[in-house]
Chains A and B, each alone.
Chain A
C-alpha cells in the first residue's frame, strides 16, 4: 500500500481539524514529517489513509512575542527557530538544542511541534522547552487551551493529545528578564541511532552570587521527558560552587532512574554523564546570566 492515500494541505486550523475528523480512514497530522514518514515507511506506525499537512497554516508559522511571552508556532521549521533573534535572546537553550537536531536539510522541514508531539523522552527541543518553563497551546473544534508542557507526556512516544481531534498550535516561553539565562548540552556517540546518549537543559535566574530560581531538564531519564526537581531544590538559593554542584549531582542520581539502552549507553555511563553535563550546562547558563546581566 502507498504510505498514504490522500494528502491534504490544510489552509487553516478549522480546515485541518475538519479534514482530520472527516477523513474516511486513519488520519494523522503531518508537519515536517521527518519522523512520521519514516515511521510509516518502516512499519513503526500503523498505516494511515489521510495525512493532514499543517506546515503552511499561518498561525502555526508564527514566531513572535505575545505580551511577556515568546510564541513559537508548532510548524515553524527548526532552522527558523535556530536563527530567530527572539529565540536566541530569550530561549538560548532552545536555539542550541534545535541546532543539534538532524542536519540542515532536516531542520528546514522538521518542526518543534513534531519534536514535542513525538513525545520521546530525550527529544532535544522538548528537553529545552521543559527547562524554559514552556506552555503548549492546543486547539480542538471545541476550545483552544494552554497547559504546562510537562503535562502532555504520558509515556514513551505517547502524549495526551487526541490525534483525530487536537492540534498543537505552538509553545509559549516566558521572555527573559535580567539575570536569567539558559543553556543546552548533549553527549552523543558516533555509532548507531542519532539519539542523545544524554542531554540536559538548564534555565536559571541569577541574583548576585546565588541562584534565585532554576529549572533542569534531562533526557533520557525516564519514560517521559524529565525535570530534575530534587537537584533544582538543592540549587535554589545556593551559591554556585563545587559543594553545591556535588549536592545537585547527587540529587540527580538519587531522584532519577537512568536506564541502559542496548548498543547506545549503559545506565552507569548516563549516571556519570549526568554529573558532567550538570557541571557544563550549569556553568554555561550561570555565566550567561552574569554576562547578560551587564
Chain B
C-alpha cells in the first residue's frame, strides 16, 4: 500500500513512497541517504533524531513518514544552505553554500561543543528552530528548548555558550571566535585551544558512524535473547525460522566453528548459549538470524522456540557469596577476593580517639552512550573478514572475532568507525562476533544494529556496590586507620569486573596518607547483566563512601572539611595504601586550596553552612566538598604499551596512526597536537587515522584514562623518530650537520634552503628511506597489588565543590554550581579538557541524583531509555573548571589522564552539600528525594525501593 507522496527536503522537492510502519527518520536515512539524522533511542527520549518540519523541531523517530506528505523538512545536511540573512526563507542549498557552515555549526566547532558528535545534528537542529523563533535567546530559553535533546558527553554549558555565540553572530555578522583556554605553560601548539580535526564533519552531517554504512547485498541480523535470568537450555528449535522467506541464516552455538566464549580478561561469556548450557542473564544470546530486512529478521526471532529449565536467580553479591547459593560458574560465584593490607589495623584503631563506621550503597549505572552498538561484517573477495565497528579496543575485537571464527587473527580486519560515546561501555564484544559468524555462514555482508532496548540489556554496566567503611582518627584529625569491606555485583560474566573492583578497593581509603589500612572486596557473579568498565572504574563508588565518611568525621571533630582533608592529603613523599611512595606530580593540595578559595570567594566565610533562600523559606542551600584521585594507565603489573606510526605523505601531510579509540574525549586532537608540536608545524598539517587493524598499529585499550599518556607518548616517539630520520637523510644528501636541519613553520630549513614537506617526502623516497616511523612506547613498569613497588605510574588528583538547593517540603534537589579542580599534569588540549570536565561533572551529577539501573529478580526494569534517565541540559549547573598542572615527568609534556577523574568527586560533593543544607546524610545512591522529604517531615519512608543486601 505504498502511495507516493511529495515532500520538500532541504529545499528540494522529491517523490517518495513511505513504507508501512516507516518513520520519517528511517525515510530520510534509508530512502534519501541523509544519514546525518541519527537514531539514538527510537522512543522519543533523546532528541538525537530532531529535524525541522514546517519550521518546528520534531522527533523524526516517532514521526510517521506518511505524515510528512506535502511538508518542508530541514535536516542537518541542509542547514548550511540556510543563510542567516535569508533565515526562514527556505531557499535551497547550492554548491557554494553547502561548503559553508551555518553560524550554529561554526559556533559548535569553535566552542568545542562537539565531542563524540552523535547527538550534535539533533542539538543543532533544535537550536536552529529556537533561533528562528527567538533570535537572541537567553540561557533559560536555551535550556527549555534543548530540555529533551540529550548529550551524554554532556558539554551542556559549552553548548549554551555556542548557541549564544551563533545568535550574536547571526545578528551582528561578526565572525565567531571561540574561547581561548590555554595551559599555564603553553608551547607553540601544545596547550593552546585547537579545533577538533573531526569537528566539521560532525556538525554538517557527513560524519559516518557504523549504522550509516551500507553494503551491496547486505543482510540484517537480530539476536534471540534468553529473556530469563537463570536457566538451562533444554531445546532450541530453529527450523521454522530457517524456512521463513527472506531468512538467509539462523545460527546457534552448535554452528560456531571456533571458540564458544569471549571475554577481555576471562573468556567466560558464551557467544551463544547452547543446549544443556546455562543461561546466566536475560541478555544472553541463544540464536542469531540474518535476513534480507531487519523486519524479517525480527519476525524470524518469534519462530525460534527455546525450552528452559528455570533456575532460581542469584540477585546480589552478598547472596552470591552464601555457601548455599547456586553456582553460576564452574569455579563458583567469586570472581575475585581483592585485598589491600598496610600497617597493623588493630594498632591503628587503638591509636584513634574516635572511630566511625557506616555502610554505603551505590546503584548499577548504564553508560547510555547515544549511539547504540552496531557492527557490520563482510567477507572480502580474498576471503578475509572485515568488521566495521565503533570499538574501544579494536585489536581485542580482532582477537576475539578470530577465535570465534576459528581463524588466525591476521585473517580478520577491524575497521574502527566513529564512536558515538563509549564511557567504558564499548570495550566488550557486543555484536561483532555474531555479525562475523553470520557473514562467514552466508558469504554476504551482515549488519547487526542493537536497538536501545537491547543495548540496555546487553552491555556491561557500572558495578552496584555495598561499601562498609570503618575509620579511626585522632582528635587533631589525622587518620590512624581505615578498614573497608566492599561487595561488587559483577553480574553474569567477568568482563573487566576484577580490574574495576580492584581499583575500587585500592582507592577505597581515599587520597589520604593512612598508616593502617585493610580493605577486602568480594567481586561476585550474579544473574544480573554483567558489570564492567564505566568511567571512574570503581573509584566513583568508593570515593562516594570515603568522602561521605570524611565529612561525617569532620562534623564529629568539629573541624572544617577542607582542613581535615588538608591534614591527611597525599603529598610528595606520601606512601599510598598499596605501598607506593609518591615522588612527583601530586597536585591534590593545590586542587583543594584552589577550590576552597573559589567557594569562599563565592559564598563567604561559611560556605558549608545552610542558607535560606530569600522569599522561599522552604528552600535551603549549601556547599559540599569532596576530593578524589584516579590512576592513569592499567597499572597493577599489566604491560601497558602502545604503538604509533607517523608518516610523511606525498601531499606533505603528516599522518599519525594508532588503533586507539576516539570516543569523544579528544584523543584525535591530542595526537594531532603532539605531532604538530614535534614538527613545529600547525595542526592542519597533521592527519590522524585511528583504529584500523590493517592500517594502524595497536594503541591498546581506550580505558583507564591512559590514551593521552600512553599513545600520546607513542605518537611523540614516532614523530621524533621520523624527524630524526628526515634530519639525518637530508644531512647526508645536502652534506650538512644533522643539527643544522631545522623544522620551522611547516618547512625544513638548512643553510639557505627551505624545503616544503612535499619535497622532503620526495627526497626521502629517492634515498630509499621510507618517510615513516613506528614507535613502541612502554609505560613505566608497575607491580601487582600486594607486591612492593609502584602499582601505578601516575595518579591524577582532583577536588570539587558543589552548591545544592534542597526543597525541604518535597525533598527535591538542584545542583546550582560546581567548582572542579583537576590536576592533569599539563593541559595538552585545553578546549577538549573543558569538555571532559563539564561532561565528567554532569555524569557525576547523574550518578548522584538521577541514574538507577534497576534489576529485579534478574529481570531488567529499566529496559527503555524512558525508564533510565540521564542528565539533561536542565540539570546542568554552572561549572567552573580550574586546571592544576603538576607535571608527571614520564607523561607527554607532563600530561596525565583526566577522562575519569573529572567525574569522580562530584557525587560526594553533592551529597555532602545536601547534608550541609538540610542535615540528611545520603548513604545510598541515587539520592531519593522521598527519603529526604520523609526525614525532614517525619513520615515513615517506604521501603519498597531499598536495596538491602545483608552483610555477610
Q: Which residues of A contact B (CB under 8 A)?
A: 1-7, 9, 30, 33-34, 37-38, 41-42, 51, 53, 55, 79, 102-106, 108-109, 187, 189-194, 260, 262-263, 265-269, 271-273, 276
Q: Pick the most buried of A3, A38, A105: most chain B CB atoms within 10 A of its CB.
A: A105
The reply on B57 being an interface residue by CB < 8 A is: yes
Q: Does the CB pair A2–B20 fall under 8 Å?
A: yes
Chain B residue at minimal CB-CB distance from A189: B929
Q: Does the CB pair B42–A41 fall under 8 Å?
A: yes
The reply on B212 being an interface residue by CB < 8 A is: no
Q: How far is the CA of A269 from the CA of B935 in the complex (A)?
A: 11
Q: For B929, what are the chain A residues with a Cβ–Cβ distance below 8 Å?
A: 189-190
A-B residue pairs in contact (CB < 8 Å), sample of 23: A1-B21, A2-B19, A41-B42, A42-B453, A103-B147, A104-B148, A105-B57, A105-B149, A106-B59, A106-B148, A108-B56, A108-B58, A109-B59, A109-B63, A191-B926, A192-B852, A194-B866, A263-B854, A266-B930, A267-B942, A268-B942, A272-B939, A276-B809
Beyond known contacts A192-B867, A263-B945: 7 more, CB 8 A cutoff? A3-B21, A5-B21, A9-B66, A189-B928, A194-B869, A265-B942, A272-B937
Q: How far is the CA of A239 from the CA of B298 in the complex (A)?
A: 63
Q: Does the CB pair B850–A190 fall under 8 Å?
A: yes
Q: How far is the CA of A231 from the CA of B609 in the complex (A)?
A: 39
Candidates A4, A7, A33, A38; contact of B43 at CB < 8 Å:
A38
Q: Does the CB pair A263–B861 fall under 8 Å?
A: yes
Q: How far is the CA of A1 from the CA of B851 in the complex (A)?
A: 33
The reply on B309 being an interface residue by CB < 8 A is: no
Chain A residue at minimal CB-CB distance from B129: A104
Q: For A104, what are the chain B residues with a Cβ–Cβ distance below 8 Å?
A: 57, 126, 144-145, 147-148
8 A Cβ contacts from B106-165 to A: 126, 144-145, 147-149
Q: Does the CB pair B944–A266 fall under 8 Å?
A: yes
Q: Does the CB pair B126–A37 fall under 8 Å?
A: no
Q: For A9, what are the chain B residues with a Cβ–Cβ distance below 8 Å?
A: 66-67, 69
Q: For B44, what are the chain A residues with a Cβ–Cβ distance below 8 Å?
A: 34, 38, 102, 105-106
Q: For B42, what are the chain A residues with a Cβ–Cβ distance below 8 Å?
A: 41
Interface residues on B, range: 35 or more
Q: How far is the CA of A263 from the CA of B854 in the complex (A)?
A: 9
Q: Does the CB pair B944–A190 fall under 8 Å?
A: no
Q: For A265, what are the chain B residues with a Cβ–Cβ distance below 8 Å?
A: 930, 942
Distance (whole angstroms) from the CB of B769 to the closest CB of chain A: 57
Q: Does the CB pair A103–B148 fall under 8 Å?
A: yes
Interface string of B816-860 (1 = CB under 8 A from A): 000000000000000000000000000000000111101000000
Chain A residue at minimal CB-CB distance from B148: A103
Q: For B875, what are the chain A residues with a Cβ–Cβ distance below 8 Å?
A: 190
The reply on B18 being an interface residue by CB < 8 A is: yes
Q: Does the CB pair A7–B18 fall under 8 Å?
A: yes
Q: For B353, what are the chain A residues with a Cβ–Cβ distance below 8 Å?
A: none
Q: For A30, what are the chain B residues with a Cβ–Cβ distance below 8 Å?
A: 64
Chain B residue at minimal CB-CB distance from A104: B145
Distance (whole angstroms) from the CB of A124 to the closest CB of chain B: 15
Q: How far is the CA of A105 from the CA of B939 in the complex (A)?
A: 39
Q: For B942, what are the chain A residues with a Cβ–Cβ distance below 8 Å?
A: 260, 265-269
Q: For B850, what are the chain A residues with a Cβ–Cβ distance below 8 Å?
A: 190-191
The reply on B812 being an interface residue by CB < 8 A is: yes
The reply on B940 being an interface residue by CB < 8 A is: yes
8 A Cβ contacts from B790-835 to A: 809-810, 812
Given contacts A38-B62, A105-B59, A265-B930, contact A271 B869 (CB under 8 A): no
Q: Does the CB pair B148–A2 fall under 8 Å?
A: no
Q: For A272, what are the chain B residues with a Cβ–Cβ distance below 8 Å?
A: 933-934, 937, 939
The reply on B864 being an interface residue by CB < 8 A is: yes
Q: For B18, what are the chain A residues with a Cβ–Cβ distance below 8 Å?
A: 7
Interface string of B5-44 (1 = CB under 8 A from A): 0000000000000111110000000000000000000111
Interface string of B917-946 (1 = CB under 8 A from A): 000000000101110011001011110110
Q: For B480, what are the chain A residues with a Cβ–Cβ distance below 8 Å?
A: none
Q: How far is the CA of A272 from the CA of B931 in the complex (A)?
A: 12
Q: Does the CB pair A260–B64 fall under 8 Å?
A: no
Q: Does the CB pair A41–B43 fall under 8 Å?
A: yes
Distance (whole angstroms) from the CB of B857 to the closest CB of chain A: 12
Distance (whole angstroms) from the CB of A30 to the closest CB of chain B: 8
Distance (whole angstroms) from the CB of A256 to the closest CB of chain B: 16
Q: How far is the CA of A269 from the CA of B47 in the complex (A)?
A: 32
The reply on B1 being an interface residue by CB < 8 A is: yes
Q: How far is the CA of A53 from the CA of B482 in the complex (A)?
A: 65
Chain A residue at minimal CB-CB distance from B929: A189
Q: How far is the CA of A6 from the CA of B65 in the complex (A)?
A: 12
The reply on B50 being an interface residue by CB < 8 A is: yes
The reply on B862 being an interface residue by CB < 8 A is: yes
Chain B residue at minimal CB-CB distance from A280: B809
Q: For B237, what are the chain A residues with a Cβ–Cβ distance below 8 Å?
A: none
Q: How far is the CA of A2 from the CA of B866 in the complex (A)?
A: 22
Distance (whole angstroms) from the CB of B602 to the closest CB of chain A: 25
Q: Does the CB pair B58–A109 fall under 8 Å?
A: yes
The reply on B295 being an interface residue by CB < 8 A is: yes
Q: For A266, what are the chain B residues with a Cβ–Cβ distance below 8 Å?
A: 930, 941-942, 944
Distance (whole angstroms) from the CB of B673 to the closest CB of chain A: 37
Q: How far is the CA of A1 from the CA of B866 in the complex (A)?
A: 23
Q: Does the CB pair B812–A187 fall under 8 Å?
A: yes
Q: For A193, what are the chain B residues with a Cβ–Cβ distance below 8 Å?
A: 866-867
Chain B residue at minimal CB-CB distance from A264: B945
Q: Does the CB pair B62–A33 fall under 8 Å?
A: yes
Q: How far is the CA of A277 from the CA of B706 in the complex (A)?
A: 50
The reply on B677 being an interface residue by CB < 8 A is: no
Distance (whole angstroms) from the CB of B815 to the closest CB of chain A: 11
Chain B residue at minimal CB-CB distance from A5: B20
Q: How far is the CA of A256 from the CA of B566 in the complex (A)?
A: 54
Distance (whole angstroms) from the CB of B947 to the closest CB of chain A: 12
Q: Does the CB pair B57–A4 fall under 8 Å?
A: no
Candidates B67, B126, B145; contact of A55 at CB < 8 Å:
B67
Q: For B580, what are the chain A residues with a Cβ–Cβ distance below 8 Å?
A: none
The reply on B182 being an interface residue by CB < 8 A is: no
Q: Does the CB pair A269–B934 fall under 8 Å?
A: yes
The reply on B611 being an interface residue by CB < 8 A is: no
Chain A residue at minimal CB-CB distance from B811: A269
Interface string of B869-889 (1 = CB under 8 A from A): 100000100000000000000
